[in-house]
């Protein structure tokens, strides 16, 4: 916990920034800033991911992959805004896949590895980051739901699990959860993180009952989503740690108090699809 002060300072700045982005996310012009911001984060995360690949001796056509990433992320916004474009993310992903193949037609060396790691990067980073926009601008058929509040719910439940696991693990952790890939994580921290996620989910449930805020979370929903997000979010954190350790990297970047973009969104990359599919196939 020696870097707690720096973490708190960075977290305060990030919370303020996210609050501003969400507050004005439905503004006619500001929404494009939000889309560009998420797309830029995804592009940086892809760049950080490329460093992992490079450390393992692989290579990717980074400019093409970053361009495809930005297009895929933006397509989720377009699909949310226009129901006629609901298949656009899948179409752009497929076109991007074809482009990656085409770029290797003149140079076959390393094609298998390059195409494999590039395709995985799109699925791992670009698609979930795009789903954040899909949730934020989700086309709810009624006015009782607000995509901004679903994003707030996703962020709070996911991140409070991370924070709870960090503090509990630092204070009371004894049994290592996955020592080979993340020596600092403990079983006690993971259990407490899950509990924090469930309690945060319950808090949103109570808020939805007593405040007219354009958000509704039923009893079965808060229990189910709280448990699932609390578990899968920590799974996502461990998954990114696996990639880092295999690449012999401590952090995905060297940003003070942050590590890197990929370090910051690792748990969201696994939880965003859960909320996106839940809203698409269950909630509506």
Of 252, 232, 245, whose CA–CA distance to 181 is shortest? Answer: 245
**194-222: burial string, b at 16+ Cβ within 10 Å, e else:** bbbbbebbebbbeebeeeeebbbbeeebb
Percent of the chain with pLDDT strictly greater than 90: 68
Dump pLDDT digits (tens) for 17-68.
999 999 999 999 999 999 999 999 999 999 999 999 999 888 888 999 999 9
According to the model, what pLDDT value does residue 254 have?
67
Which residue(s) pair with 283 in the sheet? none
Long-range contacts, stretch 88-92, CB < 8 angstroms, 24+ apart: 89/127, 89/130, 89/134, 92/68
Dump pLDDT digits (tens) for 157-174.
999 999 999 889 888 878
- Residue 252 reports pLDDT greater than 90: no
Record the pTM. 0.94
According to the model, what pLDDT value does residue 259 have?
77
d(CA 58, CA 139): 40
According to the model, what pLDDT value does residue 143 have?
58
Q: Give the number of residues written for the chain.
A: 284
According to the model, what pLDDT value does residue 142 have?
67
Dump pLDDT digits (tens) for 200-240.
999 999 998 887 777 889 899 999 999 999 999 999 999 99
d(CA 149, CA 204): 10
Q: Of 21-30, 83-92, 155-164, 254-263, where does mean pLDDT reach its minimum? A: 254-263
Local confidence band at 284 (pLDDT 50, 70, 90 cut-offs): low
Q: Of 74-83, 159-168, 170-179, 192-201, where does mean pLDDT reach its minimum? A: 170-179
d(CA 128, CA 240): 14
* Mean pLDDT, rounded, for 107-124: 89
Q: What would the 3-class secondary structure string for the chain be?
A: CCCHHHHHHHHHHHHHHHHHHHHCCCCCCHHHHHHHHHHHHHHHHHHHHHHHHHHCCCCCCHHHHHHHHHHHHHHHHHHHHCHHHCCHHHHHHHHHHHHHHHCCCCCCCCHHHHHHHHHHHHHHHHHHHHHHHHHHCCCCCCCCCCHHHHHHHHHHHHHHHHHHHHHHHHHHCCCEEECCCEEEEEHHHHHHHHHHHHHHHHHHHHHHHHCCCCCCCCHHHHHHHHHHHHHHHHHHHHHHHHHHHHCCCCCCCCECCCECHHHHHHHHHHHHHHHHHHHHHHHC
Tokens of 156: 């709070």
Q: Of 81-90, 93-102, 129-138, 245-254, where does mean pLDDT reach its minimum? A: 245-254
* Mean pLDDT, rounded, for 132-153: 88
- Residue 253 reports pLDDT greater than 70: yes
- Residue 91: CB partners within 8 Å, gap ≥ 6? 75
* Mean pLDDT, rounded, for 189-195: 96
């Amino acid at each position: 916990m020696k870097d707690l002060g720096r973490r708190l300072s960075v977290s305060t700045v990030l919370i303020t920034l996210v609050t501003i982005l969400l507050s004005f996310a439905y503004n006619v012009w500001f929404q494009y800033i939000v889309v560009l911001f998420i797309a830029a984060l995804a592009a940086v995360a892809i760049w950080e991911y490329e460093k992992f690949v490079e450390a393992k001796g692989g290579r990717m056509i980074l400019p093409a992959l970053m361009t495809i990433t930005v297009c895929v992320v933006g397509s989720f916004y377009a699909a949310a805004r226009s129901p006629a474009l609901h298949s656009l993310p899948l179409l752009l992903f497929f076109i991007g896949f074809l482009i990656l193949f085409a770029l290797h037609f003149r140079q076959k060396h390393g094609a298998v590895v390059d195409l494999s790691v590039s395709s995985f990067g799109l699925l791992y980073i670009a698609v979930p980051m795009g789903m954040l926009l899909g949730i934020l601008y989700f086309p709810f058929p009624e006015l009782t739901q607000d995509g901004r509040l679903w994003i707030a719910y996703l962020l709070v439940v996911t991140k409070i699990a991370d924070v709870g696991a960090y503090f509990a693990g630092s204070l009371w952790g004894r049994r290592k959860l996955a020592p080979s890939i993340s020596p600092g994580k403990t079983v006690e921290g993971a259990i407490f993180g899950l509990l924090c996620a469930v309690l945060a989910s319950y808090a949103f449930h109570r808020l939805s009952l007593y405040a007219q805020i354009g958000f509704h979370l039923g009893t079965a929903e808060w229990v189910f989503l709280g448990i699932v997000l609390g578990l899968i979010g920590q799974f996502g954190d461990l998954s990114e740690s696996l990639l880092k350790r295999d690449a012999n990297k401590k952090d995905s970047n060297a940003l003070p108090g942050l590590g890197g973009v990929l370090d910051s969104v690792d748990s969201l990359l696994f939880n965003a699809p859960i909320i996106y599919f839940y809203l698409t196939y269950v909630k509506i």
